[in-house]
Structure 1
Amino acid sequence: MTTLFLARHGETVWHAEHRYAGIADVELNENGLRQAEGLALWAADAQLDAIYSSTLSRSILTAEPSARATGEIVETDPDLCEVAFGVGEGRTLDELRPDYADAVDAFEARPAEAILPGGEAGVDGITRYLRAFDRIHSAFPDGRVLIVCHGTALRLVLCELLGIDPNRYRDLMPAVQNCAVTTLEYADRHARMYAFNVPADVAAHRY
């Protein structure tokens, strides 16, 4: 099986303000850049065979220090991008509610299936992530791979792999810390999870 280390990108200005970023290309803030360097300290001793990232700059900028620390290159994959939030990009749910009350209510009740106007269903994000995981497993069937990705899509795909209704991702996994590490063994759409949302400085002493 492939050991996948899934890390959410570092903090951006929008995330610090609890705004949806989705596929908007929001860069890291200063704290996010520091978090990426912390992830690199973990990566240096993680015996990685590869590093993958979404094509969004906040993910790439998070992955690059780990690539420098390990001598690997960052392979980008558009299937690892965040779920698109349409009219929600750059806004909070409270800001959306006056104009899109019904859509916001549906999105809060069934976040894996309901779509904010112009956005993408969470279940479609799951499909993309599983495609990417399958390709990575084929390339590194017994390897150790860091994947720098995104908070909502990460929680959705974990629910799918663990046999949990993805609409419950917010209740069961209310937050993913920036640059925290989740560890899976993965093969053929099956996974075993060994750790979830472990800060990089703690993960450095465990895996």
Structure 2
Amino acid sequence: MTTFFLARHGETVWHADHRYAGNSDVGLTRRGLGQAAALGAWAVGAELDAIVASPLSRAQRSAAPAVETTGLELRTDPRLVEIDFGVAEGLTPDEIGERYPAEWAAFTEAPASAPLPGGESGRAGIARAIPALDDLVREFPDGRVLVVAHATLIRLLFCELAGMDPDGYRDLLPVLGNCNVTTIVYPWATESRAEHHPRIRLLGFDVPAVRAAV
């Protein structure tokens, strides 16, 4: 079983306006750089075996301080990129609703299943990202891996691996803090007999790096 520390990247220049940034490559704010530095300080005592990031610059830049403090190599995996929001990239929720009212309504009702025009479904994102985790499990079967990725993808993965309907991620997990740490053990040999049993053990969810357990 591998311990994964899932961290969202730092605050971006689109954050204040709540603009959708999927596969758009937007930079970090000064605050975002500070959040990344806090994640790097946390990594000092985390006994990590690997650091893996989405190839988007905001994720790589957020992982960079942890690379510096641990001496580990920064690895990137395109399967960890954020969900592509299609025509909604760079728009606010109000702007999306005004321009694409029917599509926005469908997305808000079932956000993992009904992609925005030209975009990727959340379920497709789950399908591409889980194999990335599986590959890391095979490489580090008893290891500790920091994954720096994106809010929507992490929430979707969490729901899927916790045995919950990913279409409920926006209601269940409305916010994921920048550079906060979610700690899971995966795969977890659960004893649950539920139809949708969890495949992870949760050790901490959305914990600020300054307080996250190592």
Interval containing the TM-score (normalised by the shorter chain)? over 0.9
Q: Superposed, which structure 2 residues align to 1:106-125 within 5 Å?
A: 106-125=106-125
CA distance in 1, matches of 2:51, 2:200: 19
Per-residue deviation at 1:96?
1.4
TM superposition score normalised by structure 1: 0.97
Matched residue, 1:202: 211
Matched residue, 1:98: 98
Q: Superposed, which structure 2 residues align to 1:175-190 within 5 Å?
A: 175-187=175-187, 190=199
Per-residue deviation at 1:187?
2.3
Q: Which runs of 5+ in 2 are unaligned?
A: 189-197
| 8 Å Cα contact 2:18-2:93 kept in structure 1 | no
Per-residue deviation at 1:16?
2.4
Per-residue deviation at 1:93?
1.6
Matched residue, 1:63: 63
CA distance in 2, matches of 1:170, 1:98: 20
TM superposition score normalised by structure 2: 0.94
CA distance in 1, matches of 2:178, 2:155: 13
Query: SS where residue 15 of structure 1 aligns?
Result: coil
State whether structure 2 residue 156 is matched by structure 1 residue 147.
no
Give the residue type in structure 2 aligned to 1:197.
D
CA distance in 2, matches of 1:169, 1:115: 14
Per-residue deviation at 1:99?
1.9
Per-residue deviation at 1:27?
1.1
How many residues matched? 205
CA distance in 2, matches of 1:143, 1:90: 37
Q: Which runs of 4+ in 1 moved over 6 A?
A: none
Matched residue, 2:194: none
Matched residue, 1:72: 72
| 8 Å Cα contact 2:112-2:166 kept in structure 1 | yes
Query: SS where residue 4 of structure 1 aligns?
Result: strand
Give the residue type in structure 2 aligned to 1:37.
A
Give the residue type in structure 1 aligned to 2:210.
D
Identity of aligned residues (%): 53
Deviations 1:42-82 (A, max 9, x none): 00110000000000000000001100000001100000000
